[in-house]
Amino acid sequence: MLAAAITSTHCPYCALQCGMNLRPSKDGGVDVVERPDFPVNRGALCGKGRTAPAVLSSSVRLTGPLIRNHATGGLEPATWEEALRAVADGLRRVRDAHGPDGVGVFGGGGLTNEKAYTLGKFARLVLGTSQIDYNGRFCMSSAAAAHTRAFGLDRGLPFPLEDIPRTGCVILVGSNLAETMPPALRYLTELRENGGRLIVVDPRRTRTAEQADLHLAPRPGTDLALALGLLHLVVAEGRVDEEFVAERTTGWADARAAAMSHWPTLVERVTGVPVPQLREAMGMFCDAESGMVLTARGPEQQSKGTDTVGAWINLCLATGRAGRPLSGYGCLTGQGNGQGGREHGQKADQLPGYRKLDDPEARAHVASVWGVGPDTLPGPGRSAYELLDALGRDVKALLLMGSNPVVSAPRAAHVEERLRSLDFLAVADVVLSETAAIADVVLPVTQWAEETGTTTNLEGRVLLRRRAITPPTGVRTDLEVLHGLAGLLGWEKGFPTDPEEVFEELRRASAGGPADYAGISYRRVAEEDGVFWPCPDAEHPGTPRLFLDRFATPDGRARFVPVTHRASAEETDAEYPVVLTTGRVVAQYQSGAQTRRVAELNAAAPGPFVELHPRLAERVGVADGEPVAVVSRRGRAVAPARVTTSIRPDTVFMPFHWPGEGRANTLTNPALDPTSKMPEFKVCAVRLERPGG
Ligand code: SF4
């Protein structure tokens, strides 16, 4: 059953994609052992990575397909032939009745590059639908949009992580690395050991913020104003890098004018960050020889997320901290394959190679690789939340892989109701997630250590996850599922089940595109322990550092975009006087579908909580550990209070990993950023109550 030797591979969870070795264990599974030679994490792992094998052998693992018996209402065991036939019939029935766009496909940022590529191809060729998007839209799409707008290309980090300790100053905005990717914290520790400065922007004094030289704690939703205030001071105090701005950028005059209307006193009123702290931050950043701004979900998951990231990029450009060694703007992507997942065609507006679906040349290239005419390909579809919101109305059937929107989508009760209103729902997953539990057909699929495939980490480094263990009888790979469905739906060719064969096709499809994988092969990835894209041919060394000579815009210059502060979609008022912000805890991952099945992780983080300041707790009349109800315009969630001075008195925090009564996303606001279509997970107005009181 087991491979005899140690297998080098990568963690199934977050975008750091820590290297790990898997060793056969006495009980027939695998144990995780350190892999110190992989440069990103040098052997370090968080608890999620260390315990990842527990999900492989979990007693609640799905090991056979399930079909709903509509007479009894229950899910019942079925053969693979019955289950695939039921899915194909369900999708075909809806397509025949409502047209191709009556069928939707929803993917995930944890799917390998090969799966993301095949899922996009399946949707557009076999189903002929434009209605495909994925949960990565909820992750880093605002940063991706801002990156592309300013630099002409989006790669989360345009430099390797190893550059961080050697820069002069890092502004880390809305990222709690200590909880979300603990092994990456060492890059910040080493930065400070080397004499570099760290500024953390977060409404909570997180374990990451505690490491900082300076912690700025703005009101949630005001990061845009904060960045503009810093840029105002940069101009007012003569710290603009005029030479860089003149030689390597365009649009400065308008961006400058926009920033100059954001006086520091105004910014203090909006953000709550005192002017002296603004001055200190600006001085720290400008005094350093080099600098970086790194953002994560805090500024990105807002209805103005693209402009918020754009304001931080403007700060980098005005100070000459972009397109130079040891300087730049970067996004700390969250999901395991959040980077690769957005590059290869499961996004509503993208084709493989990060090509745009509405670009005639891109369509022609990909269509030729797929052996069809460009007119065969549908146009762009709805974004993730728009797609979920359309379920049961315009979109009557959904095939869902690698996502659990019942827990992870904004306004989750509404999304759950939409999913339940579908004519047909098929879910492929490893466990009976909350979304799988309401499906008509559930397809049990293999997990990370049971299959081979590539991911692309937050640095743009393409990595190889290797099969280390034989999957249980009764499960199939996602590629086998799509192959089977394609055949049943009349598409006999073009859906291989061998991941390397898929990757070879992906190379051709991506060739010449922004995310060019043409020179990357399984052999190279294995030998070199990762290759950075773009890598246009087999002799090319890969590109760890982007933009050093020119930006990826037509004229080679980075583009300033004038942005101004605006309020969040939902402001506090007398009825809802407190701001809710959401996030993660170290022992759980995303919707918790996997990590809630691991005893050690559950012991560390058994359930949701509401973090609030003692002054707010006193006003509400709740003590630490007592249940508190959080009510927004969309619903109500109840969880124990966690009273702490580490959060602003006007803000509460809830982690979003759990379903049921404590589901944080019952409360969140699906107001969308107009450019990226990112929902506003990070800001909504709530009131607190004593349950029953
Ligand atoms: Fe896995 Fe991320 Fe933890 Fe590394 S930091 S072990 S990739 S979950």
Q: Is residue 20 part of a domain?
A: no
Say if 10 falls within a structural domain.
no
Is the confidence at residue 400, as pLDDT, over 70?
yes
Q: Over range 250-270, report the average pLDDT.
A: 97
C-alpha 544 to ligand 1 mean position (Å) = 21
Would you state the pLDDT for residue 155?
95
* Per-residue pLDDT at 3: 47
Does residue 449 sit in the same domain as residue 347?
A: yes
Torsional class of 268: left (φ above 0), alpha (ψ -120 to 50), beta (otherwise): alpha
Q: Which CATH number characterizes residue 157's domain? A: 3.40.228.10
Query: Mind listing the pLDDT tens digit for each residue in 20-65?
Result: 999 999 888 999 999 999 999 999 999 999 999 999 999 999 999 9
Q: Is the CB of 519 under 6 A from ligand 1?
A: no
Any ligand 1 atom below 6 A from CB of 188: no
* 38 found inside a domain: no
> Taking 50 as the threshold, does the pLDDT of residue 628 lie above it?
yes
State whether the beta carbon of 17 lies less than 6 angstroms from ligand 1: yes
Query: Is 370 found in the same domain as 233?
Result: no
Same domain, 194 and 254: yes
Distance 658 CA to ligand 1 centre (A): 20
pLDDT digits (tens, 9 = 90+) for 185-233: 999 999 999 999 999 999 999 999 999 999 999 999 999 999 999 999 9
> Taking 50 as the threshold, does the pLDDT of residue 2 lie above it?
no
- The Å distance, Cα 324 to ligand 1 centre, comes to 29
Pocket test for ligand 1, best of 45, 176, 185, 333 (most atoms within 8 A of CB): 45
Segment 94-122 shows an average pLDDT of 97
Total domain count, the chain: 3
The verdict on the CB of residue 653 being under 6 Å from ligand 1 is no
Using the 3D structure, point to which of 306, 332, 358 is the last residue of a domain: 332
Nearest to 494 by CA among 581, 372, 398, 609: 372
Nearest Cα residue to atom 3 of ligand 1 = 46
Nearest CA, atom 4, ligand 1: 18
ipTM of the complex: 1.00
Mean pLDDT (the chain) is 96
> Final residue of a domain: which of 312, 332, 352?
332
> Does ligand 1 have an atom closer than 6 angstroms to the CB of 11?
yes
Which segments within 402-495 are labelled E, that is strand? 424-429, 441-444, 453-456, 461-465
The pLDDT value given to residue 28: 87
Reading the block at residue 118, the tokens are: 């095949």
**Segments forming the whole domain that contains residue 631:** 578-689
User: Ligand 1 in contact with 455 (CB < 6 A)?
Assistant: no
CATH number for position 84: 3.40.50.740
Name the CA radius of gyration of the chain, rounded. 24
Q: Is the peptide bond before 534 cis (omega within 30 degrees of 0)?
A: yes
CA of 331 to the centre of ligand 1 (A): 17
Query: pLDDT (tens digit, 9 = 90+) per residue, 512-543?
Result: 999 999 999 999 999 999 999 999 999 999 99
Verify that 348 and 373 share a domain, yes or no: yes
Pick the residue whose CA is nearest to atom 2 on ligand 1: 14
Please give the pLDDT value at position 392.
97
**Which mutation among 16, 337, 594 tests ligand 1's pocket best, with the greatest number of atoms within 8 A of CB?**
16
Specify the ligand 1 atom closest to the Cα of 20: 6
Q: Whose CA is nearest to atom 5 of ligand 1?
A: 181
Kindly state whether residues 370 and 318 are assigned to the same domain.
no
Clarify whether residues 157 and 124 are in a common domain.
no
Angle between helices 478-488 and 113-121 (to 10 degrees): 10
> Is the minimum distance from the CB of 12 to ligand 1 under 6 angstroms?
no
User: 293 with 185, same domain?
Assistant: yes
Q: Is residue 34 assigned to a domain?
A: no
Task: Please choose, from the candidates 586, 606, 608, the residue with its C-alpha nearest in 3D space to the C-alpha of residue 14.
Answer: 586
336-362: average pLDDT: 93
- Predicted confidence at residue 153, as pLDDT, reads 95
Phi, psi of 252 (to 5 degrees): -65, -40
* 48 ligand 1 Cβ < 6 A: yes
In the chain, what percentage of residues exceed pLDDT 90? Answer: 96
**What's the pTM?**
0.96
Position 374 pLDDT exceeds 60 = yes
The pLDDT tens digits for 571-613 are: 999 999 999 999 999 999 999 999 999 999 999 999 999 999 9
336 CA closest ligand 1 atom index: 7
Give yes or no for residue 462 CB within 6 A of ligand 1: no
- Flag the least confident range among 135-144, 259-268, 333-342: 333-342
Mean pLDDT of 482-499: 96
Ligand 1 centroid – CA 354 distance (Å): 25
Long-range CB pairs of 620-626, under 8 A, 24+ apart, other chains included: 620/688, 620/689, 620/690, 621/690, 621/693, 622/688, 622/690, 626/690
Measured from the Cα of 11, ligand 1's closest atom is 1
Determine, yes or no, domain membership for 626. yes
Ligand 1 contact via 183 beta carbon (within 6 Å): yes
Res 338: pLDDT: 86
The band of 1, judged by pLDDT with boundaries at 50, 70 and 90, is very low
Tell whether 468 and 415 lie within a shared domain.
yes
CA distance 391 to 103: 9
- Side-chain-side CA neighbours of residue 357 (13 Å): 25
- Report how far ligand 1's centroid is from the alpha carbon of 601 (Å): 13
Boundary (domain end) residue, out of 475, 508, 532: 532
Residues 120 and 176 in one domain: no
Judge if the beta carbon of residue 234 lies within 6 A of ligand 1: no
Same domain flag for 324 and 229 = yes
395, pLDDT greater than 70: yes
Ligand 1 closest atom vs CA 52: 1
Task: Establish if 526 belongs to a structural domain.
Answer: yes
Assess whether the C-beta atom of 216 lies below 6 angstroms from ligand 1. no
Considering the domain architecture, whether residues 490 and 609 belong to the same structural domain is answered as no
Do 185 and 324 lie in a common domain?
yes
pLDDT (mean) for 247-257: 98
Which atom of ligand 1 lies nearest, measured to the CA of 589? 8
User: How far, in Å, is the centroid of ligand 1 from the Cα of 586?
Assistant: 10
Residue 26 lies in a domain: no
Cα of 337 to ligand 1 centre, how many Å?
A: 12
* 21: in domain: no
> What pLDDT, on a 0 to 100 scale, did the predictor assign at position 692?
77
The CA distance from 234 to 287, in Å, is 11
CATH of the domain at 627: 2.40.40.20
100 Cα–ligand 1 center, Å: 39
Instruction: State yes or no: pLDDT of 10 exceeds 70.
Output: yes
313 pLDDT band, cuts 50/70/90, is: very high
CA dist 377 and 349 (Å) reads 12
pLDDT score, position 693: 62
HSE-up (13 A, CA, CB side) for residue 273: 32
Residue type, 454: T
Measured CA to CA, the distance from residue 533 to residue 541 in angstroms comes to 9
The SS3 of residue 233 is: helix
Closest CA to ligand 1's atom 1: 49
Q: Quick one: DSSP state of residue 303?
A: T
- Ligand 1 lined by 50 (C-beta under 6 Å): no
The Cα–Cα gap between 334 and 689 comes to: 32
